[in-house]
Chain A
Amino acid sequence: MNISITQRQLFFLIIKTQIGIGLLSLPSVIQDSAGGDAWISVLGSGLVIQLLILVYWRLCSQYPGMNLREMSLLFFGKYAGKAVNFIYYCFFVVVAGYACTLYVRLIKVWLLPLTPSWVLLLLILAVGVYLAVENLRVVARFYEVASILLIILLGISLASLSNETHISNILPMGQSGMAHIAKGSEKTFFAMLGFEVILYFAAQSKDTPRGLIRTISFANWFVTLFYAFFVFICLIGFSQDALSKVKEPVLFLLRGLTFQLFDRLDLIFLSIWIIPMSATIVSYLCMAGKSLTKKRSAYQRMVWFSGTLVLVLASYLSTRESLDTFSKWMEYGYLVMIAAVPLLMWAMSFLFRSFYKRRLT
């Protein structure tokens, strides 16, 4: 089960999990609070994530070869540790279900308005499980190939600069004030989630601590800049009024473009974007499997089971009118699961270091 991955593979695992559905609506979400300085918010949130990543890194390098499942068993003991892992499992399934719901909504709005949700969900999850049951190396291999598409997506988004752009939209810099920028950062933070894969996948990378921090920081700043770029082109492409009215500004930005051979670049962009969105779900299925099991066959069964759970959950969620209250709860859950618990572990390892080291041997 413990198949090692390289630095580069870890990098792609992180960025592909982070880049997903959140980006498409991000510019209008943060623009509400941070206005023309939304792009600074993205950088700010990258900084916060960097701090969190440092904590992850300390944990991973102090207990090399251990993923979060093993760490929580170590820190909280056999029974409480198992309970924590189970909560993590539920959390990952819920996140995957939530991501699937948003994904299907987007597909229904933009591409296939009449197809029933469960058919789309079934397709997405079937593909997700097909990849997630494999070992991490295969998953990383696919992410690596799929990352070529990011270049194409960047290329398409550059085409949007041929629209009218108003650099004055973001001037003067810092106009909305620190408080608003920070608020925007908070919202961005939830769109950039996915770096928690480090806690599970870094255990399998054969890397020195120094190499590890370089890889994960590099991944974080790649994603941050990628996001900042898209927020930036939306800010200069739309006026503030327009931006607060559209739901997926990144797609709308491309909608107006026309070329000799094809129109509606947004549809082409979205069709390609399907792959990063599915990759996010694959990562969460992997993490769900890893959070409870160690052996390969058990892991595979667990992934199948989680896939079914996600399907049921997402089918239920997609029948609901509004997800606002649900997403509010999700945000609290996120903070606890990916910030509070690892921080707690880090503090415990800091305070009782020798105790855990002894328990390890």
Chain B
Amino acid sequence: MAVSYAQIKEYLSDSEDLKAQSLILPNAAACTILYLESMANLEIIQSFIIQPLLETPYHNIEQFAAATGAQKSSDLELIGHSLLDGYCVIRLENHENVYMISAAQSYGRSIDEPMAEQIIKGSHEGFVESLSTNLYLLRYRIKSPQFKVRYFTIGTLTNTKVAMVYMEKLADPNIVMECENRLKSINLTQLYSTGEIDEMLEEHPLSPFPQSLNTERTDRAVSYLMEGKINILVDGSATVLVLPITFFSFYQSPDDYNSRWIIGSFYRLVRMISFILAISLPAIYIAIVSYHSEVLPPGILYSVKVSLTYVPFPPIVEAIAMQVILELLKEAAIRLPSPISQTIGIVGGLVIGTAVVEAHLVSHTMIVVIGLTAIASFAAPLNEFGTSLRILGFPTMFAAALFGFFGISVMMMVIFIHLCKIETLGVPYFAPFGPFHGKDSMKDIFLRLPVWKSQKNAQLPGPYKQSFTQRWKRH
């Protein structure tokens, strides 16, 4: 029994954008064409479906269906979903099955550089909201038969398409299988963005550290694919989720590889220092002024103490107040149009910064310390990681206010033990520490050694030498 128009109409809740066009085919058979006018492209339907249909002799209708790649079905649910995907449904009188032909409309923004992850040199391509465009962007860069895509549909109401991409021989099959199982068992009614997938997949919800990497940069996503990691793309979301991720990935930037290795390594080291500073600088300052002022030589101690003399609060209150003000300024400036956010910058930086010191509410040194900390946390190439660091700064500050240096050491121990404890999809978060994979994996962590050093198959051919002092010299 064929599915009737009325059934389909009811299935789609009598929505008024469901259009039905009746045609009489050359052999006088009746035919109805159904589509959602919001999802389907009318031009495609008109010129590539209706017109050829009218010209096709009736006995060739199967051939027409095969040529247009039509699917046949009599399942109401499947028909309904294909309509929702922008398909056009052809219903022939006296036919058991209906034909479904893709005629989807797509409006998308053009590919441009992501705002949040800008780089100086290199590719300026970013992902967009359309899943197929994003897949194109990935495949365009890896033209390999090992590039593998698996589709999932998640969200019982939204029916969002999700793609899991990995390199067949590079990715660990156990990790791929685990990730696939987790994706399959996700049960959500709605799915809008990669953030929700991320939260469903992660293993340590209590951890302050992000356990997957969100990126809008195509070159970054591709480089992780080549390391054997998995990319997860969600239709309608311009970010790609990279799994399983390690701590040190958050300190790598595509810029490192686009400039010479000395420059790349230099910035790696700067970022590592920024990690330590962002977590511990305010805490160290608090510990010094409240417990161990003997650590400072008299010259510096004098200027620090002078600026503290008229401040009525303990250092921890100062620090927390300043951190909160900083977060307020940042949060307020993010969403404002840029001319207004400049005003915020002036009000925040100049007015609050100087006035707060002149009113003796906060000391000079504290402003310097908090400013440095904020800058250090912004030095993390991925914004969300910097925020995690600033959040971690708070417990460290409390520990310092209660126990001085001892508190900081204990807090740092807790943070590093935590980093050593967590694993994502069976991969230690703090790799390559832990199960050492040998010396090679350390070549791209604290320093970025040249490509010919860090990649095994980048060796020069036979007669040439390969070392820091002698390159391209013949043996």
Contacts and interface: CB of A to CB of B under 8 A. Distances in A.
Interface of A: 6, 8-9, 107, 111-112, 115, 120, 123-124, 127, 130-131, 134, 137-138, 140-142, 144-146, 258-264, 267-268, 270-272, 274-275, 278
B108 interface: no
B420 A111 contact: no
B404 A111 contact: yes
A131 B409 contact: no
A146 B416 contact: yes
B369 to A, nearest CB: 14
A264 B296 CA distance: 8
B294 interface: yes
B455 to A, nearest CB: 23
B292 interface: yes
Contacts of B300: 261
Contact of B408 (A6, A9, A271): A271
A141 B434 contact: yes
Interface of B: 291-292, 294-297, 300, 403-406, 408-410, 412-414, 416-417, 419-421, 428, 430, 433-436
Given A115-B403, A127-B410, A275-B413, A263 B294 contact: yes
Given A111-B405, A141-B434, A261 B297 contact: yes
B420 A141 contact: yes
Contacts of B297: 258-263
A272 to B, nearest CB: 7
Given A123-B406, A145-B420, A263-B297, 11 more contacts: A9-B436, A111-B404, A115-B403, A127-B417, A134-B421, A144-B436, A261-B300, A262-B296, A264-B292, A274-B406, A275-B413
Nearest to A265: B295
25 contacts: A6-B436, A8-B436, A111-B292, A111-B406, A112-B403, A120-B406, A123-B403, A123-B406, A124-B410, A127-B410, A130-B414, A130-B417, A137-B435, A141-B420, A141-B433, A141-B435, A144-B434, A144-B436, A145-B416, A260-B297, A262-B297, A263-B297, A270-B405, A274-B409, A274-B410
A270 B412 CA distance: 14
A140 B207 CA distance: 21
A121 to B, nearest CB: 12
A3 to B, nearest CB: 10
A142 B417 contact: yes
Contacts of A111: 291-292, 404-406
Nearest to A279: B413
A141 B430 contact: yes
A131 B417 CA distance: 6
Contacts of B410: 123-124, 127, 274, 278
A6 B416 contact: no
A322 B313 CA distance: 41
A125 to B, nearest CB: 11
Contact of B405 (A6, A115, A130, A267): A267
